[in-house]
């Protein structure tokens, strides 16, 4: 009985510990997928995009991607950053414009796009 409980707990922990990935790049842990924004990008002919949103600041998200070993692009600021590597481009922005409603959105948007 103890073994079964231990095994179940170990499997639950291992499942939680596995980081979500998109195109071989880890998704920021506090971010939630946003399929609506991905569809907006698809309309702009940007295929294979994973889009995620978080309330964390751009700087905190950028630090996470720095630690992933991705190459940081120039111009990182409190409003945005860009990283490349592993065949992807990761962009981070806050604020950002919802293309369907033209509303300025004040959480952080993360886009992970597979390069062609």
| 9: in domain | no
* pLDDT tens digits, one per residue of 41-65: 888 888 888 999 999 999 999 999 9
| 5: in domain | no
Claim: this prediction has a pTM higher than 0.85:
no
| 10: in domain | no
Contact call for residues 73 and 51 (beta carbons, < 8 A): no
Contact call for residues 74 and 16 (beta carbons, < 8 A): no
User: How far is the C-alpha of 116 from the C-alpha of 100, rounded, in Å?
Assistant: 26
The residue range of the domain holding 51 is 20-114
**pLDDT tier at 2, thresholds 50, 70, 90:** low
**What total of structural domains would you count in the chain?**
1
| 7: in domain | no
| 1: in domain | no
User: How far is the C-alpha of 78 from the C-alpha of 80, rounded, in Å?
Assistant: 6
């Amino acid at each position: 009985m103890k073994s079964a409980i231990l095994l179940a707990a170990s499997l639950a922990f291992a499942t939680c510990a596995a980081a979500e990935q998109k195109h071989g790049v880890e998704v920021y842990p506090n971010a939630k997928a946003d399929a609506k924004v991905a569809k907006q990008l698809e309309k702009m002919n940007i295929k294979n995009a994973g889009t995620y949103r978080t309330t964390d600041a751009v700087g905190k998200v950028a630090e996470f991607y720095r630690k992933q070993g991705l190459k940081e692009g120039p111009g990182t600021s409190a409003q945005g950053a860009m990283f490349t590597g592993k065949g992807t481009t990761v962009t981070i922005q806050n604020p950002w414009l919802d293309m369907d409603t033209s509303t300025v959105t004040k959480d952080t948007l993360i886009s992970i796009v597979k390069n062609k």
